[in-house]
Amino acid sequence: MTAPSAAASGAGLTAEAITKRFGPVQALRDVTLHFPPGQVTALMGENGAGKSTLLRILTGDHQPTEGRVLLDGQALGLDSPIDARRAGIRIIPQEPEIIPHVSVAENVYAGSLPRRAGRRLDRAELRRRITADLERLGFDTVLDPDLLGSGLTAAQRQLVEILRALTGDTAARAIAFDEPTSSLSDHEVDALFALIGRLRDAGIAVIYVSHRMKEIFRLADRIAVLRDGTVAGTVDARTTSEGELVRLMVGRDLSALFARQHVATDRVVLRVDNLTTHDVHDVSLEVRAGEVVALAGLIGAGRSELALALAGDTPVRSGTIRVDGSVVRLRGPRDAIRCGIGLAPEERKAQALFLQRTIRDNTSLVSLGRLRRWRFVNRTREKALAQEYADRLRVRAPSIEAEVRTLSGGNQQKVVLARWLALGPALLILDEPTRGVDIGAKAEIYQIIADLARQGTAILVISSELPEVLGLADRILVMQNGRITGRLDQSEATEEAILALAMADDLTPDLPYETATAPRTGTDPAPGGTR
Amino acid sequence: MTTALSVDREPDATGDRPRPAATARTWLARAGGQNLALIGAMALVLALFGSLNPNYLSWDNIQVIAEAVTISGLLAVVQTVVIICGALDISVGSQAGLASVTSAMVFTATGSNSLLGIGAAIAVGAVIGTLNGAVIIYGRVNATIATLAGLAAYKGIAQLISNGAAQGYVLNDSLFVFLSRGKIAGLPVMVWLLLLVAAAVHVLLKYTDIGRNIFAIGGNDTAARLAGINLNKYLIAVYALSGMVAAAAGVLLTARTGSGQPVSGSEGLELQSITAAALGGCALKGGRGGIGGTLLAVALLGALQNGLTVQGINAFWQNVAQGALLVTAVIIQQRRTGERAVGLPA
């Protein structure tokens, strides 16, 4: 690890005037940021502010529409992640990519394994290398190089990624950590921070993406804030405050976005008692007609899993679900839809949309039963229906015959909403309804939610954006580790209160690869192939 | 379609939508680039072989081509449905063989009752089709592997019950004779049957909610499930349909050759049907395709094969040509999707 002379001007990694467009969506606009060597620069911003896109450009995964990336003042042509790796730019991704059935050592050097004549694996050299590298980085006590990829904990998986970044032919010059602590326990976070400290002292430019204020103040030298694809400001971590950072991140009066009256009635649409599934434990809740209930919590708290259970997609182990007072047994999403439960899932492209089909097809899909005579779909009525909801939700497209893949994220989300609105569900579950949606479409989606509530729909919103939770909800339920850990009324809820509940106790933090407590039966699909 | 999409709506704040011009251009757009390319290729093939041999374009030869493609055409039509679901049925040829043997043997055993023979063949097709679907759904076996196993097993069953030999003689029965040699309005009955099945499947895919759901399953099975579509039911039904249509093709095979054929005449039909579907524009990932394109591709393949035969080209070369065509069709498809060329192909 060579320490470049930090004194040289322009040393370190620089993003220069970077603009990135994805079709109609402008993800980054004229972003110029400098990441000096020997410093930790935190990158903050709301979801969708452009942090991931910037990281992807810096690490060669995306190419900028305009602008360039420089290292020590030299422009780099980064056509692929391999180019970036050669130049010494590394990223520790949020979700480590681990090959399940090979050892830690082979995972670390995958792609450049030592070999003997005839392309046979040189096991002695592999052993020598991994031992030396583990020792050099101080991991020799925490990571056994013979463990199989499938048996690693979340923290160990991350260590493998870090090892990948710090080994290899070229020395690392800049390392980006993308929300590295989201699946680590306190003790593991301490170890990670010690390591990042050493990287900084070795003259590496560290980029640290996180939402967690406390960590950022503990670790960062400088803080760069992105907002809606532009740089909102770069501040010195020693002189700034949480308030200033929030102001930089939000930069607008949020209350205007959420101007809505509260129209909750007394009619209980959904009542859940002691619901337990594979990932959700003993959850009880109620949603009334016209009420917006938000499920807050950290990623992995079990909110989406609860949503899928309510939509009939995951089997219920115990507990009851009542819709309009009567107990329902949901054997599949079809049953849930019959009961009037609609789900706009978290990953709209993967879980909701048919990208190659038209807006009309996507909108009418769950309403076809109403649009057919015998089994023939009445095209005229179908078009009228799709057009009505496309107009009502202001879907911006040339016509309802446009393929959904050509639309922007916000308009795609509106198509998902149109599908459910056309059906008129009693309960609508919205999982991260504004993720990856620009600010204008966000405001429109909030308005749609408010309108629905006024018409008497019961709404359950899952959101990781606290301002959204606070602005939309009549009541807020906070989840952690598959359980509801807090219930807040709109009047008493603050970001701090929600966060406190979301990270409430020191139950084992949510480590999907360590939850040996939940007995896995043979039929349960084991995530990540842990078998 | 007289209702204009948005013409009589009040001007939208989001800007004017282009007014659909009901002209040749929309008609062309509806026909699709893929189909136009097929028509072009067809014209090329006809012109080439027509100039080499004037008899090639005679009405007699065209009827020969049409009859020759009926059996593979039926399989291609039903393969289209399976592929749109995002699956594959490589056991269709073996199913046709088993059905062919069944029809002839039941016909003989029941004292020349052709209806019973045909009915038994179709019933066998329905059963083994359902079995394919059940293995895939309840055994959680990949569709390609499950039907590859079926390809071997059903062929084996056909050979076992027939001792590997052609069975019976059916052309003493008027129904079988009608199927093989009859004509309605100048067109062979077999061709009418293909057109009938193709039209029925086309209507199913294009105009019913069942068809919409089939496209949805192939386009995004997770989204289809969350939209309340019963994937298991649909997949099993589609494989049952595939079995029944393959059985009908087997019955036609019996009628054409005069006896039940366990293997000859049905071997290799799975390749032909998949090639036709892929050439016809079915995305092998599912969710995209149509009967029109498949029929055009069937006709193109038939014209090509007949032309090569008329020119005396070695049949072994025709196999090479067919393999090359399938790969070329899929490469063109993949290029058109414009996806990033990283990772392994899906």
Question: What ipTM is given for this predicted complex?
Answer: 0.77
| Cα maximum dimension of chain A | 78
User: Is residue A217 pLDDT above 90, yes or no?
Assistant: no
- Residue A70 or residue B332, greater confidence: A70
Binned at pLDDT 50, 70 and 90, residue A531 comes out as very low
Binned at pLDDT 50, 70 and 90, residue B28 comes out as low
Tell me: the pLDDT tens digits for A226-239?
887 889 889 998 88
Mutation site for B-interface testing, chosen from A356, A374, A411 by largest number of B Cβ within 10 Å: A356
pLDDT given at position B338 = 65
pLDDT given at position A519 = 40
A370 touches chain B (CB under 8 A): no
Calpha distance B85→B239 (Å, rounded) = 10
Percent of chain A, pLDDT > 90?
22
Percent of chain B, pLDDT > 90?
46
B183: domain CATH number is: 1.10.3470.10
Tell me: the pLDDT tens digits for A286-332?
999 989 999 988 777 888 999 999 999 999 999 999 999 899 999 99
Q: Is residue B335 in some structural domain?
A: no
Cβ within 8 Å, pair A332-B12: no
Q: Is residue B104 in some structural domain?
A: yes
Of A409, A403, A456, give the one whose Cα is nearest residue A432. Answer: A409
Cβ within 8 Å, pair B216-A351: no
Structural contact between residues A502 and A301, judged by C-beta atoms closer than 8 angstroms = yes
Which domains are seen in chain A, by residue range?
13-97+154-251 (3.40.50.300), 99-151 (no CATH), 255-355+423-502 (3.40.50.300)
Residues of B with Cβ-Cβ distance to A398 under 8 angstroms: 17-18
User: Is residue B35 pLDDT above 90, yes or no?
Assistant: no
Q: Is residue B21 in some structural domain?
A: no
Q: How many domains does chain B have?
A: 1
Q: Quote the domain boundaries for residue B235.
A: 70-268+283-289
β-strand pairing of A205-209 with A40-44: parallel
Average pLDDT, chain A: 82
β-strand pairing of A13-22 with A66-71: antiparallel
Structural contact between residues B219 and A349, judged by C-beta atoms closer than 8 angstroms = no
pLDDT given at position A416 = 93
Q: What angle do CA A88, A92, A97 make, to 5 degrees?
A: 115
pLDDT given at position B187 = 85
pTM of the model: 0.74
Tell me: the pLDDT tens digits for A35-65?
999 999 999 877 667 888 898 899 888 888 8
Calpha distance A276→A17 (Å, rounded) = 51
Residues of B with Cβ-Cβ distance to A375 under 8 angstroms: 208-210
Calpha distance A40→A146 (Å, rounded) = 32
User: Is residue B269 pLDDT above 70, yes or no?
Assistant: yes
Residues of B with Cβ-Cβ distance to A361 under 8 angstroms: 212, 215-216
Cβ within 8 Å, pair B215-A354: yes
Tell me: the pLDDT tens digits for A225-278?
888 788 988 999 888 887 777 777 766 555 555 656 677 788 889 999 999 998
Pick the range with the lowest mean pLDDT from A114-118, A386-390, A400-404. Answer: A114-118
pLDDT given at position B235 = 95
Binned at pLDDT 50, 70 and 90, residue B212 comes out as very high
Residue of B5, B17, B212 lying closest to A365 (CB–CB): B212
Cβ-based neighbours of A495, under 8 Å, separated by 6 or more = A466, A467, A470
Binned at pLDDT 50, 70 and 90, residue A442 comes out as confident
Binned at pLDDT 50, 70 and 90, residue A146 comes out as confident
Of A142, A102, A118, give the one whose Cα is nearest residue A110. Answer: A102
Return the amino acid letter for A517. Answer: T
pLDDT given at position A375 = 85
Q: Is residue B24 in some structural domain?
A: no
B2 touches chain A (CB under 8 A): no
pLDDT, mean of residues A74-87: 84
Q: Is residue B255 in some structural domain?
A: yes
Structural contact between residues B89 and B82, judged by C-beta atoms closer than 8 angstroms = yes
Calpha distance B25→B19 (Å, rounded) = 13
CA distance A247 to chain B (A): 32
Q: Is residue B119 in some structural domain?
A: yes
Q: Is residue B85 in some structural domain?
A: yes
User: Is residue A516 pLDDT above 60, yes or no?
Assistant: no
Cβ within 8 Å, pair A399-B3: no
